[in-house]
Amino acid sequence: MIPIHGTFASGFDAVREAFEENFTSGRDVGASVALIVDGELAVDLWGGYTDIERTHEWQNDTLVHVHSISKTMVALCALILIDRGLIDPDAPVATYWPEFAQNGKENVLVRHLMSHTAGLPGWDQPVTVDDVYDWDVACSKLAAQAPWWPVGEASGYHLISYNHLVGELVHRVSGKRFEQFFKDEITEPFGIDYHFGITDEIAPRFSAMIPDPNPGLDFASLDPAGFTMRTFMSPFLGPAYNSLDYKSRVIPMNGMANARSIAQAQAVVSHGGTYKGRTLLSQGTLDTIFREQANGMDHVLGIPVRFGVGYGLPLDQWPIQPDRTCWWAGMGGSLMINVLGKRATFAFAMNQADNSGLIGDNRSMNLFLACMDALK
């Protein structure tokens, strides 16, 4: 019997059933799913195990590495500064980060940086993993290099560089490192269990990612000089993701969370800019999220992607098109979706990586669809 715990509101039984099915089918080892609606947790479920041997149960406060979900958290920090009039999304990045105006980047705008259209999806060679760990070195390298394609032409997923670029913008404007700004404005005021990097304090609650033997991308088939290979190899972090050295680093890709804390951190977006009595975003700033910046084949991912400012937007092939929706996913399968028209935020976090989809997979989408059905 798979251990599943938590609560769900009346009418959300199908979400509980879909969550259990992910375990009985063998697709999940340990996972959590949450849905916040009108300020309340309509779904807060967790289950399974923290280890592949299935000896330790996933607890209500278990944390897991949620990878690129953290892009939405850094983007939220920038949006808060936009709302306060401290950042103009249509201003050149160099307005706030003067060293950025090198090698043809004088006209890179903030919205380009926040929508993966700045042409900086990775670092020019030579670059090492240690360079990425060193915030100042990583940011100075990005500031010095030229875009890989014409700025604003199309998106090219800024795999690791996104959070350095937007995080440094937050740093330059607020005077605070991104993690301190996020803590001061979001996690502490709302009491949210979301962390960057593993500390000794949270280490006992952490569940390591279980790798998927399917790599997702067939690197052997890629053009060595193409944008995809250049991005994933500048530098290649594959073996590092589960290393203690990597996970202990306070860098913006190192978000440690569960579904509940992801949803709580993003609920201010779905709730009209105000959550738990704290207002962080105006309607005008929320509208900025939905200013389409790219819609088409992504230079790096090689699949169609649609980006607004700071978030992905639904494509026509989505199984449903809920009102005013913005989202993103993390490597291996974690997912966050804000549905503004329903004042709802959905989140999923797990420890079994599934690389069948580059951005999300059926485990989380089935749960999301069950949530939307319950909200009809």
Which of 26, 30, 40 minimizes the C-alpha distance to 60?
30
Beta-carbon contacts of 283 under 8 Å, excluding residues fewer than 6 positions away, are: 272, 273
Does residue 243 register a pLDDT over 70?
Answer: no
Q: What is the mean pLDDT of residues 100-116?
A: 98
DSSP 57: B
| Of the candidate ranges 117-131, 266-280, 312-326, the one whose mean pLDDT is the lowest | 312-326
Smallest CA-to-CA distance from 338 within 160, 51, 25, 76 is with: 76
Share of the chain above pLDDT 70, in %: 95
What does the pLDDT read at residue 237?
72
pLDDT higher than threshold 70 for residue 264:
yes
pLDDT at 250 over 80: no
pLDDT-derived band at 362, boundaries 50, 70, 90: confident
Task: Tell me which H or E stretch contains 6.
Answer: strand 4-8
Over residues 187-242, the pLDDT tens digits come to 999 999 999 988 889 999 999 999 988 877 777 788 989 999 999 998 877 656 66
- Three-class SS of residue 311? coil
pLDDT at 220: 76
Mean pLDDT of 70-92: 98
Long-range contacts formed by 211-219: CB under 8 A, 24+ apart: 211/242, 211/353, 212/332, 212/352, 212/353, 212/354, 212/355, 212/356, 214/355, 214/356, 215/355, 216/355, 216/356, 216/358, 217/355, 217/358
Pairing of strands 63-65, 206-207: parallel
Mean pLDDT of 144-154: 98
Mean pLDDT of 15-22: 98
- What pLDDT, on a 0 to 100 scale, did the predictor assign at position 247? 67
Give the whole-angstrom CA distance, residue 8 versus residue 1. 20
Write down all domains in the chain, each with its CATH number in brackets. 4-375 (3.40.710.10)
Low-confidence winner among 127-131, 252-256, 347-351 (lowest mean pLDDT) = 252-256
Per-residue confidence band for 246, with pLDDT thresholds at 50, 70 and 90: low
- The answer on pLDDT for 133 being more than 80 is yes
**Residue 144: band (very low, low, confident or very high) from pLDDT cuts 50, 70, 90:** very high
pLDDT score for 366: 94
- 164-181 average pLDDT score: 97
pLDDT at residue number 281: 98
pLDDT band of residue 99 (cuts 50, 70, 90) is very high
Going by pLDDT thresholds of 50, 70 and 90, the confidence category of residue 359 is confident
